[in-house]
Structure 1
Amino acid sequence: MKTHTLRARLLEAQLDLAHRQERSVILLLTGHAVTYKGQLVNELNHWLENRHTEVHALGPSSEERERPYWWRFWRRVPDRGRIGIFIHGWYGDALFARAERRLSPGAFRDRLAEIRAFEAELAAEGVMLLKLWMDIGRREQRRHLQALQADPIRAWQLSPTDWQRHLQHAAITVLGREMRHATAADHAPWHRLAFRDPAIQLQRVGGLLHQTLVAPCARPTEVPESAPDGVSERVPGEAPAPPSIRLSDPRIKTSLKKSRYAARLAKEQGRLAINAREAARRRIPMVLAFEGLDAAGKGGSIHRLTAALDARQYRVHRIAAPSDEELALPWAWRFWRRLPADGRIAIFDRSWYGRVLVERVEKLASEPAWRRAYAEIREFERQLLAHGTVLGKLFLAISQEEQLRRFKARAATPHKRHKLTEEDWRNRERWDDYRQAIDEMFARTQSPGAEWTLIACDDKRRARLAVLEEVNRRLEMRLDSAH
Structure 2
Amino acid sequence: MASDKQDELRFQLLSAQLELARSEDRAVVVLVAGHAGTGKGHLINRLNHWLENRLTEVQALVPSEDDRRHPYWWRYWTRLPPRGRIGIFVHGWVGDALFAGAARRLGEGALADRLQEIVTFESDLRAAGITLVKLWLDIDVEVQGQHLAALEADPETRWQVTEEKWQRHSQHEAIQQLGQQLRKTTATDESPWLCLDASPGSDLLTPVVEHMIAAMEGAGRLTETTARPVIEHSVLKAVPQLSDLAEHTGAIGKVEYREQLASAQAQLAELARRAVWRGIPLVVVFEGHDAAGKGGSIHRLTSALDARTYRVHSIAAPSEQELRYAWQWRFWQRLPIDGSVAVFDRSWYGRVLVERVESLIDEPEWRLGYHQIVDFENQLLSHGTVLVKLFLAINSDEQLKRFKARAVTPHKQHKLTDEDWRNRARWDDYQQAIDEMLAATHRSEAPWTLVDANDKRRARLAVLHEVTARLADRLQVDQ
* TM-score (normalizing by structure 2): 0.96
| SS of residue in 1 equivalent to 2:62 | coil
> Of 81, 92, 96, which residue of structure 1 is paired with 2:99?
96
TM-superposed CA distance for 1:449, in Å, is: 2.1
Per the alignment, residue 247 of structure 1 pairs with 242
What are the superposed Cα offsets for residues 430-478 of structure 1, whole Å, 9 maximum, x if unpaired?
Answer: 1111111111111110112210000001111100000000000000000
Per the alignment, residue 398 of structure 2 pairs with 402
Per the alignment, residue 77 of structure 1 pairs with 80
Structure 2's unaligned 5+ residue stretches are none
TM-superposed CA distance for 1:388, in Å, is: 0.3
Whole-Å separation in 2 of the counterparts to 1:225 and 1:293: 29
> Of 260, 268, 279, which residue of structure 2 is paired with 1:272?
268
Per the alignment, residue 137 of structure 1 pairs with 140
| Aligned partners of 2:239 and 2:438 also within 8 Å | no
| SS of residue in 2 equivalent to 1:385 | helix
TM-superposed CA distance for 1:196, in Å, is: 4.2
Per the alignment, residue 46 of structure 1 pairs with 49
| SS of residue in 1 equivalent to 2:359 | coil
Whole-Å separation in 2 of the counterparts to 1:438 and 1:243: 16
TM-superposed CA distance for 1:384, in Å, is: 0.5
Residue 384 in 1 paired to residue 387 in 2?
no
| Aligned partners of 2:353 and 2:434 also within 8 Å | yes
| Aligned partners of 1:131 and 1:190 also within 8 Å | yes
Q: Which AA in structure 2 matches 1:246?
A: Q
> Of 127, 150, 153, which residue of structure 1 is paired with 2:153?
150
Q: Which AA in structure 1 matches 2:20?
A: L
TM-superposed CA distance for 1:293, in Å, is: 0.1
Per the alignment, residue 372 of structure 1 pairs with 368
TM-superposed CA distance for 1:222, in Å, is: 4.7
Residues 481 and 56 of structure 1, relative CA distance in 2, 3 Å threshold: farther
Residues 426 and 85 of structure 1, relative CA distance in 2, 3 Å threshold: same
Aligned length: 474
| Aligned partners of 2:128 and 2:223 also within 8 Å | no
Whole-Å separation in 2 of the counterparts to 1:207 and 1:481: 60
Residue 465 in 1 paired to residue 468 in 2?
no
Q: How does 1:308-327 map to 2 (within 5 A)?
A: 308-327=304-323
Residue 219 in 1 paired to residue 222 in 2?
yes
TM-superposed CA distance for 1:42, in Å, is: 0.8
Per the alignment, residue 350 of structure 1 pairs with 346
| Aligned partners of 1:239 and 1:444 also within 8 Å | no
Residues 448 and 242 of structure 1, relative CA distance in 2, 3 Å threshold: closer
| SS of residue in 2 equivalent to 1:90 | helix
TM-superposed CA distance for 1:240, in Å, is: 6.3
Per the alignment, residue 419 of structure 2 pairs with 423
Residue 328 in 1 paired to residue 331 in 2?
no
> Of 108, 118, 122, which residue of structure 1 is paired with 2:121?
118
TM-superposed CA distance for 1:212, in Å, is: 1.5
> Of 281, 285, 298, which residue of structure 2 is paired with 1:285?
281
Whole-Å separation in 2 of the counterparts to 1:383 and 1:198: 42
Whole-Å separation in 1 of the counterparts to 2:450 and 2:101: 42
| Aligned partners of 1:275 and 1:476 also within 8 Å | yes
* TM-score (normalizing by structure 1): 0.95
Whole-Å separation in 2 of the counterparts to 1:40 and 1:50: 14
Deviates further, 467-476 or 202-211: 202-211
TM-superposed CA distance for 1:257, in Å, is: 0.6
| SS of residue in 2 equivalent to 1:388 | coil
TM-superposed CA distance for 1:226, in Å, is: 3.3
Residue 173 in 1 paired to residue 176 in 2?
yes
Residues 222 and 364 of structure 1, relative CA distance in 2, 3 Å threshold: closer
Residues 198 and 409 of structure 1, relative CA distance in 2, 3 Å threshold: farther
Q: Which AA in structure 2 matches 1:97?
A: A
Q: Which AA in structure 2 matches 1:385?
A: L
What are the superposed Cα offsets for residues 91-125 of structure 1, whole Å, 9 maximum, x if unpaired?
Answer: 00100100111111111111110011111111011
> Of 253, 259, 263, which residue of structure 2 is paired with 1:257?
253
Residue 6 in 1 paired to residue 15 in 2?
no
* % identical equivalent positions: 56
